[in-house]
């Protein structure tokens, strides 16, 4: 897109012969970028349909790239121009070139729309905002591709009035596509960050609520937390909560000690366990970060 900035484009294209080669380079780079964008959405989705995998696959990209390069070669260039299709759009090769690009964008955006719909179905509350924005952006992009193809065909047929009337929606569609796609992609990590902070706060609150019970449990049955040789990092809230739960459970099931929980404490412990294993648990906690006692290992098996 930077290569399409007029001063940049004119300077670079004249440096390479003034035959609009920079247009090809910019469009090819954008196609490859859109390919990786679609692949990123697909990899973040669960079990994408086969048709979606095909649409976002390398074969479709390769076919589009070959088609655009071949059609570009057959365009009768008339010197550097910053209005490529307006200047050369009366040529079938130029029309084919433009249509191949926007047909590929349409294919990728249609696949992204399907993935967004699937994500909306399994999301709840604020989690629906990113895929909904992505869906709107994809639909606007599909409309944009259709408008460009209609403009190309009308230009080739000499119907310039139709081309001008259709071109009126190009700007709003382009802007809308850009805004909603950016919102969809940018809001996902923002939302994830907020959820992570919210989870950390909830985890720390549960740690504080369980601490008196945990203190009684480790007093009755000293656990690994009291060992100076234990490789245990209490700076991780998830690990700390896991440790409290494990050592409380160990004290409850150990017949060698006398330790019992009240009904309220059992409910609190159950709530802490549900929180710990619930959806959204951070993936950064590895087994090495959360030591497990022999009693807990036997219970897990």
Delimit the domains of the chain by residue range: 2-168, 196-300
Which structure tokens are listed for 273? Answer: 């366990």
- pLDDT digits 0-9 by tens, 40-88: 999 888 888 999 999 999 999 999 999 999 999 999 988 889 888 888 8
Q: Does residue 299 surpass a pLDDT of 60?
A: no
Which structure tokens are listed for 31? Answer: 């196609």
Q: Which of 13-22, 91-100, 253-262 has the lowest mean pLDDT?
A: 253-262
Calculate mean pLDDT across residues 243-272: 88
In three-state form (DSSP H/G/I as H, E/B as E, the rest C), the secondary structure along 2-35 is: HHHCHHHHHHHHHHCCCCCHHHHHHHHHHHHHHH
Calculate mean pLDDT across residues 274-300: 48
C-beta neighbour count of 275 within 10 angstroms: 18
The pTM is what? 0.72
Q: How far is CA 32 from CA 53, 108, 120, 129, 189, in A?
A: 16, 11, 27, 27, 23
pLDDT at 295: 42
Calculate mean pLDDT across residues 151-180: 92
Q: Report the C-alpha gap between 256 and 26 in whole angstroms.
A: 74
Q: Which of 125-139, 155-169, 215-229 has the lowest mean pLDDT?
A: 215-229
Q: Report the C-alpha gap between 136 and 133 in whole angstroms.
A: 5
Are 75 and 141 spatial neighbours (Cβ–Cβ below 8 Å)?
A: no
């Amino acid at each position: 897109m930077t290569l399409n900035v007029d001063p940049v484009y004119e300077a670079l294209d004249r440096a390479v012969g003034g035959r609009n080669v920079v247009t090809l380079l910019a469009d090819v780079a954008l196609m490859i970028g859109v390919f990786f964008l679609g692949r990123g959405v697909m990899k973040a989705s669960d079990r994408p349909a086969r048709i979606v995998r095909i649409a976002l696959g390398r074969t479709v990209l390769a076919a589009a790239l070959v088609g655009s390069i071949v059609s570009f070669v057959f365009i009768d260039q008339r010197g550097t121009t910053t209005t490529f299709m307006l200047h050369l759009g009366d040529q079938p090769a130029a029309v084919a070139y433009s249509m191949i690009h926007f047909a590929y964008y349409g294919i990728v955006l249609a696949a992204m729309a399907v993935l967004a719909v699937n994500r909306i179905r399994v999301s709840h509350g604020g989690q629906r905002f990113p895929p909904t924005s992505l869906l709107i952006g994809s639909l606007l992009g599909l409309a944009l591709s259709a408008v460009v193809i209609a403009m190309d065909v009308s230009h080739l047929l000499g119907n310039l009035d139709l081309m001008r009337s259709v071109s009126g929606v190009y700007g709003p569609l382009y802007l809308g596509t850009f805004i909603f796609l950016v919102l969809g992609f940018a809001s996902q990590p923002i939302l994830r960050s907020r959820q992570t902070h919210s989870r950390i706060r909830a985890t720390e609150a549960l740690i504080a609520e369980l601490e008196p019970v945990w203190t009684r449990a480790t007093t009755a049955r000293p656990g690994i937390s009291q060992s100076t040789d234990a490789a245990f990092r209490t700076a991780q809230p998830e690990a700390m909560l896991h440790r409290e739960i494990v050592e409380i459970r160990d004290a409850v099931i150990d017949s060698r000690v006398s330790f019992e929980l009240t009904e309220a404490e059992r409910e609190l412990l159950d709530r802490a366990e549900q929180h710990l294993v619930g959806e959204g648990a951070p993936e950064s906690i590895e087994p090495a970060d959360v030591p497990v006692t022999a009693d807990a290992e036997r219970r897990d098996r």
